[in-house]
């Protein structure tokens, strides 16, 4: 195999799956008797990855949504949508970008659909998450990381 073949860049989805899933409605059935449904939504997104084998990475998108109505938790959903991605021939920065942005962009619609379906199955109106710009989030994270490293270096 030549050097050119060894360094050929590739990025592909190998498998998509739900890694963890939780739905809780701690105040049911009283939750369903609210006279006014004006929910407050708290949403948290984060991600992680691990190297499974050479050029094979598991990327995990974690979404936690807490929905309160009149200061009572109506329901709580936690989803870990995961995927195995074959990524090779990229330097560290490019690979981190692919995982932190592109892999999350692939995983998000699956998590979004699952959250909507779970909400309905739990007896509530569907919770439809707005699209997320993972490129922008990745850039914000990189800028915050650079500022933190710069502050640490100047101490």
Domains and CATH numbers, the chain: 12-147 (3.10.420.10)
> What span, in angstroms and rounded, lies between the C-alpha atoms of 65 and 129?
10
**Burial class, 122, CB count within 10 angstroms (exposed 0-12 / middle 13-18 / buried 19+):** middle
Tens-level pLDDT at each residue, the chain (155 residues): 455 555 699 999 999 999 999 999 998 888 887 678 888 999 999 999 999 999 999 999 999 999 998 888 999 999 999 999 999 999 999 999 999 999 999 999 999 999 999 999 999 999 999 999 999 999 998 888 888 888 887 76
Indicate the pTM of the whole model: 0.86
**Burial class, 103, CB count within 10 angstroms (exposed 0-12 / middle 13-18 / buried 19+):** buried
Backbone angles phi, psi at 8, to 5 degrees: -65, 130
């Amino acid at each position: 195999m030549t050097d050119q073949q060894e360094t050929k860049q590739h990025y592909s989805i190998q498998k998509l799956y739900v890694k963890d899933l939780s739905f809780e409605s701690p105040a049911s059935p009283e939750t369903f008797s609210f006279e006014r449904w004006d929910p407050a939504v708290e949403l948290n997104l984060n991600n992680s990855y691990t190297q499974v084998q050479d050029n094979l990475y598991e990327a995990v998108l974690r979404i936690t949504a807490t929905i309160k109505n009149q200061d009572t938790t109506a329901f709580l959903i936690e989803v870990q949508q995961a995927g195995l991605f074959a990524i090779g021939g990229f330097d560290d920065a490019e690979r981190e970008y692919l995982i932190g942005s592109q892999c999350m962009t692939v995983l998000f619609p699956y998590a979004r659909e699952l959250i909507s379906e779970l909400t309905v199955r739990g007896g509530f109106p569907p919770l439809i998450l707005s699209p997320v710009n993972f490129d922008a989030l990745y850039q914000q994270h990189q800028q915050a990381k650079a500022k933190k490293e710069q502050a640490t270096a100047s101490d």
